[in-house]
Structure 1
Amino acid sequence: MAVLITPALICGVRSHGENGAIARLLTPDHGLLAGYVRGGRSRALRPVLLPGNSVKAEFRARTEEQLAGLAVELDHSRAPLLSEPLPAAAIDWICALTAVALPEGTPYPALYQALDGVLGAIDAAPAARGWGAALVRYELLMLAELGFGLDLGRCAATGGNEDLAFVSPRSAAAVSRAGAAGYEKRLLPLPRFLIEGGSGDWPSIVDGLQLTGFFLERSVLTDWRADTLAARERLVDRLKRAVA
């Protein structure tokens, strides 16, 4: 029987049978893994099996094809954040994205570190200005890791790298203000924090989510639109209301 013990981030949980649950966890060295938790719907385990929680996970399976049995030990709970609308919406979305977008068993160490970083930022500063930019960067990294990366290094029209302000929805490449002249309404805004770094202001965070959301919906979430994008819509709606 193969045994794997690893730190992990809980990304998705669904009920299975009368009292069990199937959890999908992102691990640092083995990517996204699923396992059956006996008693996962019990009073003791429900608070542990929350998306966003950090756990110590033990997977046991007789064969690679078999769904592994999973035991979890709580390392860090983010349950207190789930009572706050914006942090709760962000955790719900980013974990749902990870659970449905990644193939199982493929290592994505950069994504694990980035997800851990975003969740840590939400812990440290529940106000969205403290983690909004990190969430946008995570979505950009997700696109790149899955082969749909954006080219934000130079203008697709002029070849230069100055005054980049838009992204072409067709080529996923940056466009400068000069290169976009007359076509601005057909392009997506490129927030400055994705070029210059920093946290960005409210409008730029919303622009960043609009940018990454377009490419995630087009290239990654084509088979999961109804279920998964609803979580993102809730997050963006709450952010826009916070901005207003």
Structure 2
Amino acid sequence: MHLIADAILLAVRSHGEHGAVARPFTRDHGVQPGYVRGGHSRRLRPILQPANALRGEWRARTDEQLAALTVELLHSRAPLFAEPLPAVALDWLTVLTAAALPEAQPYPRLYDALGGVLDAIEAAPSARGWAGSVARYELLLLAELGFGLDLSACVATGATDDLAFVSPKSGGAVSRGAAAGYEARLFPLPPFLCEGGSASGDEVIAALAITGHFLARDIMIDRRREGLAARERLLARLQRAIA
């Protein structure tokens, strides 16, 4: 195996006394873990920061062997970790992606979307500029992994207009008329999830309630459930920031 690719670093953990195992996410080759010699050195610690953009070179004698990985920093997002709200957003996005994606499977749409959300967090002066993108990214991740929500038509009637709710069981949209009498059992559907555009603070929180339900039910299960603590920290800060 010999691979050179740009990547977004999702996670890193200690391995041995001085090394580290990193999990970069590449566009065309998916998540490609590798062993970084000296990963805890003063020189490499700032590079091996989740959410950083890297250029990696992986080498291994066989596909089954953990590759040796050397990294070059393309763009550092480390300064964002000094700001409480961006820090928890980057933490959740990288934790989610690392936990959800299988290794060596390409997800180019997710790679592009994750890069876009990270860029938006870096560029926006406040959460109002990027919070809705987090919900859209979660929605895309569910779809890419086979758990997509159908928000194009009412699951009960097939109608495509006046869609106002989402079923927590089927993940399908429900029209206002079909939901009559059952509204309390359904999630309100924020228009921006279907139509795009900007969203109010309440709409973002409503969207995150929908995606959070399905992530917890279908993706962040078993040992991956621990990662949901990062999402709870993000929600708590978002509710204060965009209320």
Q: CA deviation at 1:140?
A: 0.6
Confirm or deny: 8 A CA contact 2:166 2:174 kept in the other structure.
Answer: yes
Number of the residue aligned with 1:182: 181
Query: What code does the residue aligned with 1:216 have?
Result: L
Q: CA deviation at 1:130?
A: 1.0
Equivalent positions of 1:6-45 (< 5 A) are: 6-45=5-44
Deviation digits for residues 119-140 of structure 1, max 9, x if unmatched? 1111111411111111111111
Confirm or deny: 8 A CA contact 1:132 1:199 kept in the other structure.
Answer: no
For residues 84 and 35 of structure 2, the distance between their equivalents in structure 1, rounded to whole angstroms, comes to: 29
Query: What code does the residue aligned with 1:28 have?
Result: R
Number of the residue aligned with 2:2: 3
Number of the residue aligned with 1:224: 223
SS at match of 1:227: helix
- Give the aligned CA root-mean-square deviation in angstroms: 1.0
In structure 1, stretches of 5+ residues that fail to align are: none
SS at match of 1:73: strand
Q: CA deviation at 1:197?
A: 0.7
Equivalent positions of 1:95-244 (< 5 A) are: 95-244=94-243
Q: CA deviation at 1:224?
A: 3.3
For residues 12 and 59 of structure 1, the distance between their equivalents in structure 2, rounded to whole angstroms, comes to: 16
Q: Number of paired residues? A: 243
Deviation digits for residues 8-57 of structure 1, max 9, x if unmatched? 00001111111111111110100111011111111111111111100111
Query: What code does the residue aligned with 2:130 have?
Result: W
For residues 209 and 42 of structure 2, the distance between their equivalents in structure 1, rounded to whole angstroms, comes to: 39
Moved over 3 A (4+): none
Q: CA deviation at 1:84?
A: 0.9
Q: CA deviation at 1:227?
A: 2.1
For residues 139 and 199 of structure 1, the distance between their equivalents in structure 2, rounded to whole angstroms, comes to: 17
SS at match of 1:113: helix
SS at match of 1:138: helix
Query: What code does the residue aligned with 1:75 have?
Result: L
Confirm or deny: 8 A CA contact 2:35 2:67 kept in the other structure.
Answer: yes
Change (3 A) 1:143 1:5: same
TM-score of the pair, normalised by structure 2: 0.97
Query: What code does the residue aligned with 1:77 have?
Result: S
Query: What code does the residue aligned with 2:63 have?
Result: E
Deviation digits for residues 191-222 of structure 1, max 9, x if unmatched? 11011211211111111111101000000111
Identity of aligned residues (%): 62
Query: What code does the residue aligned with 1:106 have?
Result: Q
Deviation digits for residues 102-132 of structure 1, max 9, x if unmatched? 0000110111001011111111114111111
For residues 230 and 222 of structure 1, the distance between their equivalents in structure 2, rounded to whole angstroms, comes to: 13
Confirm or deny: 8 A CA contact 1:217 1:225 kept in the other structure.
Answer: no
